[in-house]
Structure 1
Amino acid sequence: MAPLRPTDPSRIAGYRMLGRLGAGGMGVVLLGRSTGGALAAVKIIHPSYAQDAAFRERFRREVRLARQVRSRYAVPVVDADTEALAPWLATEFVPGPPLGEAVDRTGPLPEHSVLDLGRMLAEALEAVHTAGMVHRDVKPGNVLLAPDGPRLIDFGIARALDDTVLTATDMVVGSPGFLAPEQARGEQPGPAGDVFSLGCVLAYAATGERPFGAGPVEAVLYRTVHDTPRLDALPGPLRPVVAHCLAKDAAQRPTAAELRALLTRDTPAEGWLPAPIDRLIAERSARMLALPDIEATRVEPAGPGATTAVTAPPARPSWTRRRTLTLIARAAALTAGSTTAFWLLGEDRPTPPPPAPRRPTLHIALQADLSGPGAAAGRAHRQGVDLAVAQHNARADAPFTLAVVRADDRGDTALATAAARRFAADQRIVAVIGATADEAAGAALADYDAAGLPVISALDGDIRHLNRVYLRARPDNALQMHPVAQYLGAHDLDRIAVVDDGSEYGRQTTRPFAEALRGTGRRTVIAETVEPGATDVPATVAALLARRPGAVVWGGGPEALPSFARALADQRYRGPRLAAEAAYTTAFPRTAGPAADGWLVLSTALDPSTDRAGDFARAFRARHGGTPPVFAAEAYDVLRLLASAAASLERPAPTRHDLLPVLRRTAFDGVGKRYAFNAESGGYVGTGMFLNRVEAGRFRWLGQDATRI
């Protein structure tokens, strides 16, 4: 990192600039630190580009689309100002070296590292393409290396897939030696162009050489279009995969998802880099730790001389000092000969202390379905949040007062979007709890993301919703079957029937679970689908039972489960029956009747009737006059978590931008479980799952240890 130059700004918005990371034709990249202490790479666009109306429009679109890219291997945009005189964007800072520098300094990567590199970058490109973008400049300089995987950076020239108006024809965009033939010809590139570029990057990482050689730009472009790539030095397993990526015909190349599958290997990303690069990353990280703290604000003293650092506001005068000043004033009046002064001096009443300073107010928003199909969960959220706010505001030592602004989106995507826009525009609001419906959460996310407004959900589990501002206070749908796997292992069960209902939720829960079971090498998986409203459920169940399953696992929603459970009972199946969390509703035992008895059902919510609810349940009954409903404790915990994170900042009135980086580092012990988040994805980290058994038409809470059930 180089020192700042006199022409570089010392501060941009809430970021204090620490040094210069690099510069190019489009602008400069500086290292900044936010008011919350997070480091960011701040890219400032040169004003000459900003004066071009077409460029500024393109930049607005690129920033908006880049915020939608959700992958732990793609560096997210955390802040931006597209309307500034010199527009800028900030991304999370990664202290690791670029791939090109690492190869230059330590040599080509070993085969296993290149396989991991390709798999993780393919995952990043898959996220880019899913967001409707094309990166267009995948090259070693845009790949940063970190201990837990690479990071794809610089979406500065990314475009929407259908963006043909803003792109000039016959113009080569990208880096020669790493761009696709269609880009070399000046044509509009698509996702297949990024895959071609990734193939070039992998060849370079494995050999230290570009597959189409070096030399004048024109010669490299000609070889890219007409010549066969040089791949002889590639290790055997890598060669056919890279050759597939470098097909001249874009239609013959794999998609990013297909490439990721081709590059899968057994070992995880941890320890994926050779020791010399690990040392290089450690050196860079150590330098970041040595960065100076943000300096205290300085003011000029009244007289000439050195400046004085202001570290805290001046203290209020004590009562003793006020009384002393009062007595001095009375003595002054005495010397002036005032008869009133004798009376004042004789008064012995103490001066009353001043009123306590008014606490600032922290505004939290609650977005929930309060009157639609999911109103039960929404009302539980409202009651849990209300209790937490009342308890917080009753504390004499609370650094701020909490106020909650509510929006009823009824689970409707249009209403959810309108609520998100209103909350995003209200700068008083520092965080949002919600939404309580998966579709509403997805619809609201873009506006919260654009505003940098933190959102925490205690109910949503859709893995598609994770992004830079979103935190999930419960396990993702794809991870919720972990206790089921524990139960099957504890009872040594084989031939597992995994059934879903054809929904997105069913796909997210059953596919990773089935893959994990197959990966053990000990269990056979019998896959089946039973959709809501199906008329052939008894025949499907008969065919399923003919294969003699050792256990039946339902991974879908609650609509089709009752008919499936009745068909199992009618055909006298008495083996273990387990269901994912979507079945944890009173509708399942009520609709399925006796056929529901004995089912084990997962939940991410604490049963508020258990002893574990304790003080919370008693406080809830005192305030609301009844037993707390499901998800009231989780909403209560989320509100307290937000208040705890805000208080840790030791600022009287933290903003949403202060709060965002702190939340992902926060761990909080709630009523039923511990809350912590993945620092990159915002996903829940921990064992937040419980098992329940249906007995006599009701759920009985069994706890978290599936091996003892």
Structure 2
Amino acid sequence: MEPLRSTDPARIAGYRVLGRLGAGGMGVVLLGRSPGGALVAIKLIRAEYADDAGFRTRFRREVAIARQVRNRWAVPVVDADTEAPAPWLATEFVPGPALSEAVGGGGPLPERSVRALGAMLAEALEAVHGAGLVHRDVKPGNVLLGLDGPRLIDFGIARALDDTVLTATDAIVGSPGFLSPEQAQGRRIGPASDVFSLGCVLVYAATAGRPFGSGPVEAMLFRTVHDTAELSALPPGLRPVVEGCLSKDPQERPSAADIRRAFAEDAVGGSWLPGPVTHLIAERSARMLALPDIEATSLDARAAGGPTDTRPGTGAGNTTAVPASPGRRRFLAYVGGGVALAAAGGTTAWLVSSGDGQGTGGGGKGGGGTPRRELRIGLQADLSGPGAALGAGQERAARLAVDEHNAREDVPFTLRLTTVDDRGDEERARAAVRGFAEDPLLVAVIGATGTDAAREALVAYDEAAMPVLSVVDGDIRHLNRVFLCARPRNDMQMLPVSQYLGAYDIDRIALVDDGTEYGRQTTRFLDAGLRGNGRTVFAETVREGSRDLDAEAERIVAKKPGAVVYGGGLPGAGPFAKALAAAGFRGPRLGTQAVHDPRFLAEAGEDAAGWLVVSTAADPASVPSVREFAAAYRKRFDAVPPLFAAEAYDAVGLIAACALELDREQLSRQDLLPALRTTSYKGVSKSYAFEPANGMYTGTGVFVYRVERGRFRYAGMDGAEV
């Protein structure tokens, strides 16, 4: 990072500017800190673009689209002002080096690292293309390296700049050596152009060279259009995929999904980067500790009789002036690849004295009559929409846990539960986050129950630096700095299926997805794992509502599979089970988390009998460890607890256990987050543990059920007893 120059603003909107990250033809990239303490990279657009009405229209449109990109390997747009005199956008800051820096300074990456890089960047491009964007500038400088994976940046403005930049003399869109032939010739481009650029990036990562050489721009562009790529130094294992990416004909290139599938097994497990690069990332991240906190403002300096910062800003007379911070500090622990890192920030804390005893679980006194401190927990759930039954069960279970905690006399604080009904609606989900964030006594949230609501809420929770535990959502796209996935993620729930098929030596497996993102997540790693163990796999897609469902089932059965694994969601599961039975298949049939639902039993009827279902929910009706909780729930609410109620009960216990372990008079959200991510907790449903770096679940907790007599009967856990 470089120091600020006299022409750089001291503040942009609510962000304090800390330094320069870089500059280019379109403007300058600045490091900023939000009022809540989060670090962001702010792109400030040059005046000549800002004065172009056409550019503003495109910029406005592209920023709106870019906000919809949701992928763990694509750096999200978190804020923007497309109407400012100097328009800008802010993205999440990644402290790691660019691929260009890592390779330029340390040499090529090992083949496995390059394969993992390809899988994760391809996944990011899938999300970009799925949002209707074409990146247009996939290059090593736009790939930042993190301990858990790469981050693709700059997908928010590439197309908006396209027409404007093309009007400039000797200007091209993209970077020579990494752009596609159609870009070099000024032709219309699509997602295949990004695939070509990705191929160039993989060559660079593996060889430290460009596939079409270097030298004058005109020469590189000519070779890109007319010459064959130079791949002699490329490891043989990478050549088939890379050669496909570098086809001159866009129609002959693989899709981003094809590339992801080709490299999928290398994107899983362990440190993905060589040691020197890991240490470089650690060193870069540690530097963030030295950055000034948000309270060091010019107003503070004026109060102390010091000089006033008069660099260009947003205040009157270009003088920076913001209210003094109350001295809040943030501590964010990031652990990954064996390196522990900390970053400074700000938000205060909050276990406070409260003896009113009002509301859900509030107040209370210790054994000596002294009012106990209060810790508030939020619960965001769909209580009146399509997921009301699930949400109400979580709310009741959380209340039961709160009341049981408050009945204890050996704890120094009481709990209070604050509940918000989001009805499964995205806007109400965002409003719920705003309400929680404004409560200084609330330190963590359990939620949300709806997939769409969860996606929207997680972005807002990240901005509010609010730890959020989800006992329902296992979508691997929802990784961010505050999220804890309190159940095995969608792709990992299938491990017992692999164990089952291996234990019974079953070959020729029909692996069926429904064409959805959920179906892709549940089947892709299982597919790679089965093939890697020498199994024959028939990968099939049977979409929900297919008019030829019977014919598709007959086609699958005609291949004589030893087992059929359905990796799709609930809507298509029942009809598929009936079609499979009608086609005469009687062998092992296995379903996912989504199939663990009474509606599957109702829709499939007698054709559901014998199905094995893997699930991350401890069914209160049949899992032995949950029986005591289920009895207490029935006694309290005169109702049978639904799925995931026991997990919500455990989530309250997990938060309380972390707070007890920290044993602080004042406890902040930022204190609690690293504690949650590094704790192990034995709940009534399962054992909880998390990846400190990203909050993903690492504990036990995949249950297997067999459908018998119209019910889900517990058959074992994590494949051990099936």
Q: Distance in 2 between matches of 1:500 and 1:211?
A: 37
Match in the other structure for 2:337: none
Q: Distance in 2 between matches of 1:77 and 1:302?
A: 35
Query: How far off is 1:690 after superposition?
Result: 1.0
SS at match of 1:408: coil
Q: Which amino acid aligns with 2:429?
A: A
User: Residues 584-663 of structure 1 correspond to what in structure 2 (within 5 A)?
Assistant: 584-588=596-600, 599-609=611-621, 610-613=623-626, 616-617=629-630, 619-638=632-651
Match in the other structure for 1:428: 438
User: Residues 73-152 of structure 1 correspond to what in structure 2 (within 5 A)?
Assistant: 73-78=73-78, 89-109=89-109, 111=111, 113-152=113-152
> Contact (CA 8 Å) 1:454, 1:469: kept in 2 or not?
yes
> Contact (CA 8 Å) 1:76, 1:468: kept in 2 or not?
no
Q: Distance in 1 between matches of 2:43 and 2:224?
A: 32
Query: How far off is 1:539 after superposition?
Result: 11
Query: How far off is 1:256 after superposition?
Result: 2.5
Q: Which amino acid aligns with 2:101?
A: E
Q: Distance in 2 between matches of 1:52 and 1:368?
A: 45
Q: Which amino acid aligns with 1:288?
A: R
Match in the other structure for 2:65: 65
Match in the other structure for 1:45: 44
Please point out which of 529, 534, 542 is paired with 1:516: 529
Q: Distance in 1 between matches of 2:70 and 2:552?
A: 42
> Contact (CA 8 Å) 2:375, 2:413: kept in 1 or not?
no
2:698 aligned with 1:688, yes or no?
A: no
> Contact (CA 8 Å) 1:64, 1:450: kept in 2 or not?
no
> Contact (CA 8 Å) 1:98, 1:142: kept in 2 or not?
yes
Query: How far off is 1:521 after superposition?
Result: 0.8
Q: Structure 1 pair 304/579, CA: closer, same or farther in 2 (3 Å)?
A: closer
> Contact (CA 8 Å) 2:422, 2:453: kept in 1 or not?
no
Structure of greater Rg: 1
User: Residues 215-614 of structure 1 correspond to what in structure 2 (within 5 A)?
Assistant: 215-221=215-221, 223-225=223-225, 229-231=229-231, 234=234, 241-261=241-261, 270=270, 272-274=272-274, 276-278=276-278, 280-281=280-281, 283-285=283-285, 287-288=286-287, 291=290, 294=293, 364=378, 366-368=380-382, 370=384, 372=386, 374-388=387-401, 390=403, 397-398=412-413, 401-409=416-424, 416-423=425-432, 426=435, 428=438, 434-438=447-451, 456-461=469-474, 472-496=485-509, 498=511, 508-510=521-523, 512-522=525-535, 544=557, 547=560, 549=562, 551=563, 553-556=565-568, 576-588=588-600, 599-609=611-621, 610-613=623-626
Q: Distance in 2 between matches of 1:360 and 1:81?
A: 39
Q: Distance in 2 between matches of 1:505 and 1:692?
A: 20
Q: Structure 1 pair 264/650, CA: closer, same or farther in 2 (3 Å)?
A: same
Q: Deviations over 1:161-209 (max 9, x none)?
A: xx98877657622223333344344555432332333333334344444
Match in the other structure for 1:329: none
Q: Structure 1 pair 174/596, CA: closer, same or farther in 2 (3 Å)?
A: closer
Q: Deviations over 1:524-570 (max 9, x none)?
A: 66969697798996996798499483x55444556776687789899
> Contact (CA 8 Å) 1:72, 1:681: kept in 2 or not?
no
SS at match of 1:192: helix
Gaps of 5+ in 2: 307-325, 330-347, 349-368
Q: Which amino acid aligns with 2:626?
A: A
Query: How far off is 1:481 after superposition?
Result: 2.0
Query: How far off is 1:604 after superposition?
Result: 1.6
TM-score of the superposition, structure 1-length normalised?
0.72
Q: Distance in 1 between matches of 2:76 and 2:65?
A: 11
Query: How far off is 1:522 after superposition?
Result: 4.5
SS at match of 1:133: coil
Q: Structure 1 pair 243/546, CA: closer, same or farther in 2 (3 Å)?
A: closer
Q: Which amino acid aligns with 1:605?
A: A
Query: How far off is 1:264 after superposition?
Result: 6.6
Q: Which amino acid aligns with 2:173?
A: V
Q: Structure 1 pair 440/69, CA: closer, same or farther in 2 (3 Å)?
A: closer
Q: Distance in 2 between matches of 1:485 and 1:53?
A: 57
> Contact (CA 8 Å) 2:510, 2:556: kept in 1 or not?
no
SS at match of 1:121: helix
SS at match of 1:686: coil
Q: Which amino acid aligns with 1:417?
A: E
Match in the other structure for 2:22: 22
Pairwise CA RMSD of aligned residues? 5.3
Q: Which amino acid aligns with 1:700?
A: R
Q: Structure 1 pair 59/585, CA: closer, same or farther in 2 (3 Å)?
A: same
Q: Distance in 2 between matches of 1:498 and 1:182?
A: 37
TM-score of the superposition, structure 2-length normalised?
0.71
Q: Deviations over 1:270-297 (max 9, x none)?
A: 5554555455445545x53763685987
Q: Structure 1 pair 582/34, CA: closer, same or farther in 2 (3 Å)?
A: same
Gaps of 5+ in 1: 314-354, 410-415
> Contact (CA 8 Å) 1:114, 1:202: kept in 2 or not?
yes
Q: Distance in 1 between matches of 2:389 and 2:111?
A: 54
SS at match of 2:145: strand
Q: Which amino acid aligns with 1:370?
A: S
SS at match of 1:151: strand
> Contact (CA 8 Å) 1:617, 1:627: kept in 2 or not?
yes
